[in-house]
Amino acid sequence: MEKHPLHGKIITAIERAPKELIERFEKHDTCKIGDAMGRHGIMHYEIKPISRGMRVVGSAVTVLTKPGDVLFLYKVTELIHPGDVVVVDAGGLREFACMGERLLGLMKDRGLTGFVIDGSVRDSKGILELDIPVFCRGICISVNGSSGPGAINVPIQCGGVTVRPGDIIVGDDDGVVVVPLENAKEIANAADAHLQGELSRVEMLKSGSKSIDELYDLSPKIKIWQD
C-alpha cells in the first residue's frame, strides 16, 4: 500500500483555545459566526446533526482516516481532553460508517463534547441515548475494518474546510463552522458586533424609529431593476 507522509503521524500535544474564548462563541449561532467570517469556514451543508437541537462548541482534535476505518478513531480516544470535539476527515463518503455507539461511548468517558465527520455514522439510536452532539453526512450500517491508514492531530479537510488541531468548532441545527484558532479573538469581536447590530436594527423596527426601507436602503437597490 502506498503511504502518504502523514499516514501514521500522531501528535499528542496541541494548543487549545482558553475557556473564556470558547465561552464567547457559546452565545453565537453558526449563521452569525459564518457572517462574521465573510462566509468562510462553513462546512458543506450536508454535514448536519443527526437530531435537531444538537449544539457543540469546543476545540478540534483531528483525525484522518480511510473511509469506514476505525483504527485511528480508537487511538484518538486516548488523546481526548474534556471539552474537545473530534473532527474526522473520512473523505466525504457515505457508504461506510466510522463511528458507532460503543466507540462514541468511550470518547464520552474521556470528556468528549462533540463529534463531526465528513462521512457516516451508525448505531444512531444508541448515539442519541449517549446525548453527545454528532454531525455527519449520513447514517450507514457498513464499516470498513480497522487496519488504517490514518493520522491524528494533523491538518485535515472536513466538509470542504481546512481544520487544524485546536481550531474552534461550532455546530448547531444549521451546520458546522470552523474558527481558526489564530484568528478566534478577532472573529469573536466581529460576531459580537454583528449580533449587536442585528439586535439594534430589530429594536429600531419595533419602535418605529426606522422603516425596513430606510434601514436596509431598499429603494435605490430596487430602482435599479425598475428603470
Task: Please return the burial class of 223, using the count of CB atoms within 10 Å of its CB with bins 0-12, 13-18 and 19+.
Answer: exposed
This prediction's pTM = 0.91
What is the CATH code for 19-181? 3.50.30.40
Q: 187 CB contacts (<8 Å, ≥6 apart)?
A: 33, 36, 37, 179, 180
41-71: per-residue pLDDT in tens?
A: 999 999 999 999 999 999 999 999 999 999 9
Looking at residue 96, its amino acid is F
Instruction: For residues 1 and 214, give the distance between their C-alpha atoms in angstroms, rounded to a whole number.
Output: 64
The amino acid at residue 163 is V
List the domain boundaries for the chain. Answer: 19-181, 190-226
How does pLDDT run across 86-102, given as a tens digit for each residue? Answer: 999 999 999 999 999 99
Lowest mean pLDDT among 61-65, 168-172, 220-224: 220-224
Contacts of 22 (CB under 8 A, 6+ apart): 57, 58, 59, 83, 168
